[in-house]
Amino acid sequence: MTGRLSDEGVTALHGAGGELMGKFLAERILPLFRLRSAGPIGLDQLDDGAVVDLPPGHLVVTTDNHVVKPFLFPGGDIGKLAVCGTVNDLAVMGARPVALTLGLILEEGFPFSDLERVLRSAAGVLAELGVPLVAGDTKVMGRGELDRIAINTTGIGVAEWVISDAGLRVGDAILVTGTVGDHGMALLAAREGFHLATGLASDVAPLWPLLAPALASGGITAMKDPTRGGLAAALNEMARKAGVGIEIHEEAIPLRPEVRALSELLGISPLEVACEGRAVLSVASDRADAVLSLLRDHPLGQDSQIIGEVIPTYPGRVILDTGIGGRRFLEMPLGDPVPRIC
Amino acid sequence: MSAGVLTPPSGPTFHLRDPDRARALGDLIRRYAPPYPVRIVHVCGTHEMAIAQHGLRSLLPGGVEVLEGPGCPVCVTPTVDLDRAAKLAAAGAVLCTFGDMTRVPGTRVTLAEARAQGADVRVVLSAADAVDVARSLPDRDVVFFAVGFETTAPGTAAVLLDSPPPNFYVLSSHRLIPPALGALLSGPPAPIAGFLAPGHVSTIIGARAYRFVAERYHVPVVVAGFEPLDILYAIALLLRQLREGRAEVENAYPRAVSEDGNLHAQALLARAFVPCDAVWRGIGLISSSGLRIREELAHLDAEREFPVPAEPGEEKPPGCLCSEVLLARAVPAECPLFRNGCTPLSPVGPCMVGSEGACNVWYRYGGRPDL
């Protein structure tokens, strides 16, 4: 009988609407999320949409699709990543996350145990942030039509002051909130079987608790999360948009020794691979030390560093002072050296 | 400035990326640099990467230029060999080769395009991997398209001599470095002041292999390692030779390279191959610069077993300066197509394809910016 809920994995019937779908949602998915509304209509009502009551401020919305291979990786999984990726996009806009939606696309046969694990970790991040999941959707595709799982998340946030990635001013200090390249290199290590040798874990984490005090203290002129393309892409984009130059001191960039070693072994620059729990900040020079010490006060920001400054020359370009004393442009990365990691 | 700077970078307490030592070497380089412009040529993609990545060109005085020359094996593989490989694949053979080779344009198609059209083209990391493919597909002819210099050729020799399965063949497009140095010097008046010899190749062939350059052409050669300090040190030694009017082979990489090289690897090469005249893309025919599989191993030679008519291929698209770049007569930025229609994502010439090609490296790391 096709109406039975498979104990092993999802079937096409789960994504087809109707009774089985309702049962699947009610039994397996909804209970994982503790906070399920941000207004009169939320997840429990299973209405056509959610109603969100907004606090005062600027409404900020962002959306992100996540496909990660492997979907369970050292330091996290696609569920944690899907929540962090979106709330971090809000955070670097200066926005406190208020509500999230989550769309799941699953390959037929995807094990329930893995689904529960992934959603449990997504729910864990939301609970930690006190952010409700207000709407969701699930579709199932046939075997071979999708590689296991894809997750879309849309985040709604509210910002008192919006921070763009283009607000850099000449003289600002450039800060990074922790070691660079951990996420990309950890996934690569896991894929290539180097993981046990390195013990490297993804840095995936929600940034709002780290950034909120620094934002409130004043002086931050621009922020960006260095995800795809890593630090190199984030800095180039910021320099181009603001029409300023950025000078970076290579030896000041925090790097884990295992990330450095792996990057030399594989010929992949750690500055070009994604972080999922870091932010790049441009801060007025007279506020840089204060912001740095606020960042370092938070466990996520212990390794924060001032890595460079905004300069009037070379508008739109990033200059790297190499550790050995040379100088070169840090170019915009070409393509993704490590595909499918966020 | 300490006098110890010009001792070889080695020893238990030596730090390979010590900025103080780099600064001291930079001072020495400026002191030794002649009052006229000099062109130093290295012939190694790994050198180009290290120079670009560490911004070493910014440490050199304006008159000292370092160029890659024909140092990227993918870039110098001629279209005739690529076409032959594509034809073998189109005829039904499983073609195994290194990753970058699949993106280099032949006369009509790249191997990646041939694969998209249905040919079985596989990327391997070594000749031994290609043998594994042959063992796993006993009913198919498996051809290893072998490219690279003296560094990769011993690996090919080793599998040729190790009784590979009967369905395994090698299409040899290996090239030798010393004849290329000779060719660069014997063309029109050579503006080359000296060579940085490639560390990897030199571990195999030994420092003595370059003596003819110093003796016949009176051009100094310094064998260089790959850490930034290795390279700066080798440049300093080279400029010192110029200043003192010497032309010798000096070994600035003694922790890896000996005078005689790796005799075992040399013996493998000699048992599997004989040198032959060979075409280098962008440069042309260089005598005794290729490796042909020996008569005794002819049954493993794809060229002999599956003769395909060679057609004279187009070596150079219009406007492309790759020939000049490979001959160390131009830097990538001098090419009108560089960044202007020719990029790593849509390369026009071979030097933009190989990840160690000069144009590709200059594109990604900014070449010699005026900083």
Instruction: Please name each of the domains of chain A with its CATH number.
Output: 12-159 (3.30.1330.10), 173-329 (3.90.650.10)
Query: Cβ distance A307 to A180 under 8 Å?
Result: no
Interface of B with A (CB under 8 A): 17, 19, 22-23, 26, 49, 52-59, 228-229, 344-345, 355, 363-366, 369, 371
Nearest Cα residue in chain B from A326:
B55
pLDDT of residue A9: 81
Rounded to a whole number of angstroms, the distance from the CA of B23 to the nearest CA of chain A is 7
How many degrees, rounded to 5, is the angle at CA B19 between CA B3 and CA B52? 115
Residue of B nearest to A313 (CA): B371
Comparing alpha-carbon positions, the chain A residue that sits nearest to B366 is: A329
Query: What pTM was estimated for this model as a whole?
Result: 0.85
Q: Which of A247, A319, A328 to mutate to test the interface with B (most CBs of B within 10 A)?
A: A328
Q: pLDDT, tens digit, for every residue of B73-132?
A: 988 999 889 999 999 999 999 999 988 888 888 888 889 899 989 999 998 888 999 999
Residue pair A336/A329 in contact (Cβ under 8 Å)? The answer is no
Distances (CA, A) of B132 to B77, B111, B168, B298: 25, 21, 10, 20
Q: Which residues of A touch B360 (CB under 8 A)?
A: none
- Give yes or no for a contact between A12 and A18, defined as CB atoms under 8 angstroms apart: no
Could B345 and A334 be called an inter-chain contact, meaning their C-beta atoms sit closer than 8 Å? yes
Which residues in chain A have Cβ-Cβ distances shorter than 8 Å to B345?
334-335
> Pick from B19, B57, B366: which is nearest to A323 by CB?
B19
N-terminal to C-terminal alpha carbon distance within chain A: 38
**Whether residue B17 has pLDDT greater than 90:** no
Q: What integer is the mean pLDDT of B137-155?
A: 96
pLDDT higher at B56 or A342 = B56
The answer to whether A192 faces chain B, any CB pair under 8 Å, is no
Q: Are residues B79 and B162 in the same domain?
A: yes
Looking at residue A199, its pLDDT comes to: 80
* Predicted pLDDT at A121: 96
Q: Which of A251, A325, A329 sits opposite B23 (nearest CB)?
A: A325
Nearest C-alpha in B relative to A317: B366
Q: Is residue B167 part of a domain?
A: yes
Q: How far apart are CA A36 and CA A51, in angstroms?
A: 11
Instruction: Kindly state the DSSP code that residue B338 receives in the 8-state scheme.
Output: B
Residue B328 to residue B330: CA distance in whole angstroms: 6
Task: Kindly list the residues from chain B whose CB atom is less than 8 angstroms away from the CB atom of residue A326.
Answer: 22, 54-59, 228
- Tell me how many degrees the CA angle B285-B260-B68 measures, rounded to the nearest 5: 45
Q: Which of the 8 DSSP states describes residue A158?
A: E
Whether residues B98 and B67 fall in one domain: no
Same domain, yes or no: B151 and B41: no
* B26 close to B55: Cβ distance less than 8 angstroms: no
**Bridge partners for A111 per DSSP:** A9
Residue B362 lies in a domain: no
Tell me which residue in B54, B55, B366 faces A331 most closely, judged by beta carbons. B366
Whether chain B has a CB inside 8 Å of the CB on A235: the answer is: no
Q: Is A323 on the interface with B (CB under 8 A)?
A: yes
Q: B39 and B122, same structural domain?
A: no
ipTM over 0.85: no
**B56–A335: do the CB atoms touch at under 8 Å?**
no
Structure tokens at B187: 């063309």
For residue B9, pLDDT beyond 70: no
Report if residue B314 sits inside a domain: no
Do B210 and B128 belong to one domain?
no
On the question of pLDDT at B14 being above 80, the answer is no
Distance (Å, whole) CA B55 – CA B371: 10
Q: Where are the alpha helices (DSSP H) in chain B?
A: 19-32, 45-53, 73-76, 79-90, 111-116, 127-136, 153-160, 177-186, 199-205, 211-217, 228-243, 263-272, 302-305, 322-326, 350-353, 358-365
Chain B residue with Cα closest to A332: B364
User: Do B187 and B169 fall within a single domain?
Assistant: no
Cβ contact (<8 Å) for B59 and A334?
no
Whether residue B88 is found in the same domain as residue B162: yes
- Under a CB-based contact definition with an 8 Å cutoff, are residues A271 and A253 in contact? yes
In a domain, B359, yes or no: no
Report, as an integer, the average pLDDT of B175-200.
90
Domains identified in chain B, total number:
2
Shared domain for B269 and B152, answered yes or no, is yes
d(Cα B270, Cα B263) in Å, to the nearest integer? 10
In this predicted model, what pLDDT tens digit does every residue of B257-308 receive, in sequence order?
A: 999 999 999 999 999 999 999 999 888 899 999 999 999 999 999 999 988 8
Output the pLDDT for position A73.
94
- Specify whether the CB–CB gap between A261 and A331 falls below 8 A: no
Tracing tokens 């690279």 back to the chain, one arrives at B148
B81 shares its domain with B168:
yes
Residue among A267, A269, A325 minimizing CB distance to B26 = A325
Domain final position from B251, B279, B314: B251
DSSP readout, A32-75?
Answer: G-S---SSSS-GGGT-SS---PPPSSEEEEEEEEE--SSSEETT
Q: Does residue B4 carry a pLDDT above 80?
A: no
Residue B54 belongs to some domain of the structure: yes
C-alpha distances in Å from residue B293, one per residue of A328, B132, B172, B267, B268: 44, 20, 7, 14, 12
Report chain B residues whose CB lies below 8 A from the CB of A320.
55
CA distance A260 to chain B (A): 13
Place of tokens 């032949």: B106
Q: Is residue B41 part of a domain?
A: yes
Within 8 A of B22 by CB-CB distance, chain A residues are 324-326
Average confidence (pLDDT) over B183-194: 83
Whether residue B166 is found in the same domain as residue B91: yes
Q: What is the phi-psi region of residue B363: left when phi exceeds 0, alpha when psi lies from -120 to 50, beta otherwise?
A: alpha
Which of A268, A319, A324 would you mutate first to test chain B, the one with the most B CBs within 10 A? Answer: A324
CA–CA distance, A82 with A72 (Å, rounded to integer): 12
Nearest to B59 among A319, A325, A335 (CB): A325
* CATH code (residue B188): 3.40.50.11750
A51, two tokens: 């109603």
* Co-location of B162 and B44 in the same domain: no
What angle (nearest 5°) sits at the alpha carbon of residue B185, between those of residues B180 and B189?
Answer: 145
Stretch B155-166: mean pLDDT: 97
- Confidence at residue B314, expressed as pLDDT on a 0 to 100 scale: 58
Chain A residue with the nearest C-alpha to that of B364: A331
Nearest to B55 among A269, A320, A331 (CB): A320
Whether residues A324 and B229 touch (CB distance < 8 A) is answered with: yes
| HSE-up of residue A73 (Cα within 13 Å, Cβ side) | 31
Better-predicted residue by pLDDT, B12 or B202? B202
CA distance A320 to chain B (A): 8
Burial letters B326-335, b for 16+ CB under 10 A, else e: bbbbbbbeeb
C-alpha distances (whole Å) from A341 to each of A103, A118, A337 are: 18, 16, 10
pLDDT above 50: residue B2: no
**Contact at CB, B58 and A329, closer than 8 angstroms:** no
Closest CA to A254 of A279, A229, A222: A279
Rounded CA-CA distance A135/B180 in Å is 66
Rounded to the nearest 10 degrees, how much is the dihedral formed by the CA atoms of A323, A327, A328, A332? 50
A327: contact with B, CB 8 A cutoff: yes
Contact (CB<8Å) A326/B58? yes
By C-alpha distance, the chain B residue nearest A318 is B366
Does residue B234 sit within a domain?
A: yes
Same domain, B64 and B195: yes
- Provide the CATH number for the domain around residue B164: 3.40.50.11740
Structural domain contains residue B296: yes
Q: Which residues of chain A have a pLDDT value below 50?
A: 1-5
Domain containing B241: what range?
3-72+178-251
> Taking CB atoms and an 8 Å cutoff, what residues of chain B touch A331?
363-366
Question: So what's the pLDDT on residue B209?
Answer: 97
